[in-house]
Chain A
Amino acid sequence: MNTVVEKWKSYRIRSKTTKKPEKTEAFEVASQWQLMWWKFKKHKMAMFSAIVLILLYLSAIFCEFLSPKVPLERFSEYKNTPPQGIHFYSKETGFSLRPFVYDMKMTVDQKTFRRTFQEDKSKPYYIYFFVKGSEYKMWGLFNSDIHLFGTKDPNAPMFLAGTDDLGRDLLSRMLYGGRISLAFGILGIVLTLVLGLLLGGLSGYLGGFTDTVIQRTIDLLICIPTIPLWMALAAAMPRNWSALEIYFGMIIIFSIIGWTGLARVVRGKILSLREEDFTMAARLAGASDMRIVTKHLLPSFASYIIVSITLSIPATILGETALSFLGIGLMPPVVSWGVLLQDAQNLETLAYHPWLLWPASLIILTVLMFNFLGDGLRDAADPYK
């Protein structure tokens, strides 16, 4: 109890100091969302995660502009090139503020026929901002060839994260893959949200037979191990589907399995809120069911829904990654983080071309950040506690 009072006091003091003195007579009310925001701000890790996630999503939105190459462009001379180092200093020219990369020269081992790359110190390529490079279509709308950074010569080798076995720039592919994978997290959640809200809401509000049926369905879906079920459903998608159809097919697969968690949260909240005095008052005042749900119940648990969503986005992203990694989800030429990891499946490739694991670090970063964000939001969801 004491802590509540103290917190309330601190909020009061804060709101006093932010307002101008002549307004102190006015009645001070901080809305629920305002209280949540104050509480959320205190959670440093969650704030940090929110910023990182915004950056990740911005990079996904502007991936055409940010990536130095185009994802399907092949550099046949530079297959499986390791990541190049960025240099500022060379023996000939000394220190230069403009960073540069060295050309990579291939040598073939006479015994094993393995190809290895060495930096060719005689050929530096300087990196500039806003260079003209390969042409791309921004958001599928208009053509452009300006890249945020790159070399003056569009065909010059600059592979900051290395290349794959077809000589394609991994950094560009990772940026483009982020668009597909990150969008999958958001789009995948939309249908889950609709199903979860609808079925969870019906279950909690109507009770009785509907409740039993929906609850048993949830129990049923929880018993079937998710990954084998995903795999079976994904593999059952017709082989002649286009990439877009598969993308939406996968979203549907994740949604019809994944709505259960959210439905449970919604049902639990509705069950407890249904008994609250304000619901009773609204009902006595003659409000319709629809009005009670949308005006009284929904706002009361909206914050919990946001938490639940934040925590299921990374699960969806991981699901897409796992299926694509196994080769039964998204397929090349579509580029997603999971598709990129397909190349790293085999131990031999992994041992000689470890940079192919880089997409994994982005997946881990994204999922970790979403988890931290969800944690912060969960603490903030109930600001009165």
Chain B
Amino acid sequence: MLNYIGYRVLQLIPLLIAISIIVFFIIQLPPGDFLDTYIQQLEMSGTDVDEGTILNLQKQYGLDQPFIMQYLIWMKNMLLEGDLGRSFQWNQPVSEVIGDRLMLTMVISVISLIFVWIVAIPIGIYSATHQYSILDYVFTFIGFIGLAVPGFLIALVVLYVVFVNTGVSITGLFSPEYVDAPWSMAKVLDMLPRLVLPVVVIGMSGTAGLIRVMRGMLLDELSKQYVITARAKGVEEGRLLYKYPVRMAINPLISTIGWTLPALISGEAIVSIVLNTPTTGPILLRALMFQDMYLAGSFLLIVSVLTVLGTLLSDILLAWLDPRIRFGGVAD
């Protein structure tokens, strides 16, 4: 098992390097570097541009050097000093801008993932064991809608319906009195009911997808001969179902975390903009609008790295559940 984990972790290193190169390339894409924009901004606000500060910044980020050197300096600053670059829009280091928001994004994504499972697995089992029943059709239909309708549209419609019926605007994650308050138990309790909407909306399409996967897998398993044999031998139906086929059918669910998690984080980015939650989505959009590329790039990098780690966790979980992978994976 340790062998397997070590092997998977080693595999990650080139992947992470490749991701960081892509992100740095995106940071560099807009014409001009961030200092140009920074100077321009200072001039616009009427502040004197201090030559020394500019030179300092230029040196710090190696802006006078070729792409590869700039990349290496960026990586060095990031890994050794935890310096992700500067957001000129906020005039703060990126790490200070991101902090809390990133945590909330992760909290929402993980809760959404759990929500997806809690909803999708029982429905998937029901649909497979009651194939072609009315409820099966209902779930299939809802699943189709969930897959087809993007989260941000669902969010818009929900906002509208709630506002028209109650006059309450359910955007944001905190009541006004807690927005700027430091973290406390009361603040968390205040947040919990407001988390429901983003979690449900973000989890919608993932749930729809997983129901279909779960139903398909379980149907495949149920038609296998060992199930027929067990049934012929008189194994009780509920026990038979949960002991073998459901276990088998759940495996792929765990292996699909690798793509469910990026999809959830993706969905979160856009739903959070509509719902105006204090997560990474709205700030990413604003950073992109102003081409505040260090800020935007850092988001992309961190979110991607967290996704990769999530995938790693799912692989380890799967290996723990399924010995075939644990022993087959290394030899592969």
Contacts and interface: CB of A to CB of B under 8 A. Distances in A.
B29 interface: yes
B141 to A, nearest CB: 10
Contacts of A318: 150
A377 interface: no
Contacts of A364: 145, 148-149, 153
A219 interface: yes
Interface string A296-329: 0000000000000000001000100110011110
A380 interface: no
Contact of A367 (B148, B159, B289): B148
Given A225-B265, A236-B30, A347-B159, A322 B270 contact: yes
Interface centre among A223, A347, A360 (most CB of B within 10 A): A223
Size category of the B interface is 35 or more
B19 A223 contact: yes
Interface in A329-385: 341, 344-345, 347, 350-351, 354, 357, 360, 363-364, 367-368, 371-372
Given A232-B288, A347-B171, A225 B262 contact: yes
Interface in B137-168: 144-145, 147-150, 152-153, 156-157, 159-160, 163-164
Q: Is the interface of B mostly helix, strand, loop or mixed?
A: helix
B163 to A, nearest CB: 5
B31 interface: yes
A73 to B, nearest CB: 27
Contacts of B267: 227
B291 interface: yes
A13 interface: no
B37 interface: no
Contacts of B299: 228
B77 to A, nearest CB: 20
A235 B156 contact: no
18 contacts: A220-B15, A220-B18, A223-B19, A223-B304, A224-B262, A225-B266, A227-B270, A232-B300, A233-B26, A321-B150, A326-B270, A347-B159, A357-B157, A360-B157, A363-B150, A364-B148, A368-B144, A371-B147
A64 B73 CA distance: 55
Interface in B284-303: 284-285, 288-289, 291, 293, 296-297, 299-300, 303
A67 B267 CA distance: 34
Contacts of A350: 156, 159-160, 163
B148 A231 contact: no
Contact of B288 (A226, A235, A238): A235
Interface in A4-49: none
B160 A236 contact: no
Contact of B307 (A223, A231, A345): A223
A91 to B, nearest CB: 31
Contacts of A371: 144, 147-148
Nearest to B267: A227
Contacts of B159: 347, 350
Contact of B285 (A220, A223, A231, A368): A231
Interface centre among B153, B156, B273 (most CB of A within 10 A): B153
B169 interface: yes
A326 B287 CA distance: 13
Contacts of A314: 148
Contacts of A351: 160, 163-164
A166 interface: no
Contacts of B18: 216, 220
A344 B156 CA distance: 8
B297 A232 contact: yes
B269 interface: yes
B296 A232 contact: yes
Nearest to B163: A351
Interface in A227-270: 227-229, 231-236, 238
A330 to B, nearest CB: 15
B284 A231 contact: yes
B258 interface: yes
Contact of A345 (B26, B29, B157, B274): B274
Given A223-B304, A236-B29, A347-B163, 13 more contacts: A223-B262, A224-B304, A225-B265, A225-B269, A228-B269, A232-B26, A232-B296, A233-B26, A236-B30, A328-B289, A351-B160, A354-B160, A371-B147
Contacts of A372: 144
B242 interface: no
Nearest to A217: B18
B156 A224 contact: no
A222 interface: yes
A228 B153 CA distance: 17
Contacts of B270: 227, 322, 326
